[in-house]
Amino acid sequence: MKEIARRARSEQRIIGFVPTMGALHAGHLSLVAYAMQNCDPVFTSIFVNPKQFGPQEDFAKYPRTTEPDAAKFGAARVAALFLPEVAEMYPPGFSTSVNVEGLSDRLEGRTRPGHFRGVTTVVLKLFEIVQPHFAYFGRKDAQQARLIAIMARDLNLDTQIVLGSIVREEDGLAMSSRNAYLRPEERKAAAVLHRALEAARDALRAGERDALQLQQLLRRIIESEPLARIDYAEIVDEQSFEPVVRVARPCYALLAVYLGQTRLIDNMLIAPATDDAHELTFDL
């Protein structure tokens, strides 16, 4: 992979990169399509990264569907699919970690200690191997994408982080490889996340600027669904991910909600008096 990337770099080509954990859905493929518009070649990877799963989490049962995934990437005409083994990424003696301090420990990081350290470490490794000019991440994992953008800035990487929109099912459920875990009744109930986010957006449009009110609205709607249990429901600044009191600038409404054993996240970018179309890359 390094050799292929090096050759593309030396030929002055623009390398796009879509790293994934496989179990591809339309969200991943929209990132590939996005990358194809701006880059040639587009490289992809599938690596279920053990370092970003906690000991009680779903590393072992995370869906692995490499053959159909490879076929999908092939149909999308990606130039290469990087498929490293765990022992290749983390050989004996591996001991380096990359951490973005502060934000890594909040929100997702509070529920999943060490998760983001695992993410930033593996993403930096992948960037060093693939040497992308542009790397594409889904906005569903908004905090992850923000942390990776901070890392790229802080470490002077030659890689620009680009965010793709959330792709949703008919009923609004955000595409996620973990949706496969949902039992039929949970799957149906899971649409409540998007309904809550839409309600917050609509309330903002109707003039509500008080973040606590919007947060309570999110909670009220989710709690109306008996199968759903809130982990967090927050209104945070889009750049700093700090809680806000009033929504005066673009903010994320962020949700983490359990449906049975399955933990789903979702979010919506909300802003006073604008539409939701927004800058394509993080403004650092």
Quote the radius of gyration of the chain (alpha carbons, Å). 19
Nearer to a second copy (CB atom), residue 90 or residue 258: 90
Nearer to a second copy (CB atom), residue 35 or residue 150: 150
Nearer to a second copy (CB atom), residue 9 or residue 168: 9
Provide, rounded to whole angstroms, the least separation between the CB of residue 26 and a second copy.
Answer: 30
Is residue 270 within 8 Å of residue 206, measured between CB atoms?
Answer: no
Residues forming a β-bridge with 135: 17, 161
Provide, rounded to whole angstroms, the least separation between the CB of residue 234 and a second copy.
Answer: 20
3-state secondary structure 207-219: CCCEHHHHHHHHH
Q: Exposed, middle or buried: residue 106 (CB in 10 Å: 0-12, 13-18, 19+)?
A: middle
CA neighbor of 195 nearest in space, from 168, 176, 164:
168
Provide, rounded to whole angstroms, the least separation between the CB of residue 101 and a second copy.
Answer: 5
Provide, rounded to whole angstroms, the least separation between the CB of residue 154 and a second copy.
Answer: 4
Question: Which positions touch a second copy (CB under 8 A)?
Answer: 2, 6, 9-10, 12, 93-103, 120, 124-125, 128-129, 150-151, 154-158
Nearer to a second copy (CB atom), residue 38 or residue 99: 99
Length of the chain, in residues: 284
Label residues 229-266 b or e (16+ Cβ within 10 Å = b). eebbbbbbbbeebeebeebeebbbbbbbbebeebbbbb
Rounded CA-CA distance 164/135 in Å is: 10
Label residues 152-178 b or e (16+ Cβ within 10 Å = b). beeeebebbbbbbbbbbbeebbbbbbe
Active site residue 28: yes
Active-site position among 28, 115, 133, 194: 28
Provide, rounded to whole angstroms, the least separation between the CB of residue 153 and a second copy.
Answer: 8
Residues acting as catalytic residues: 28
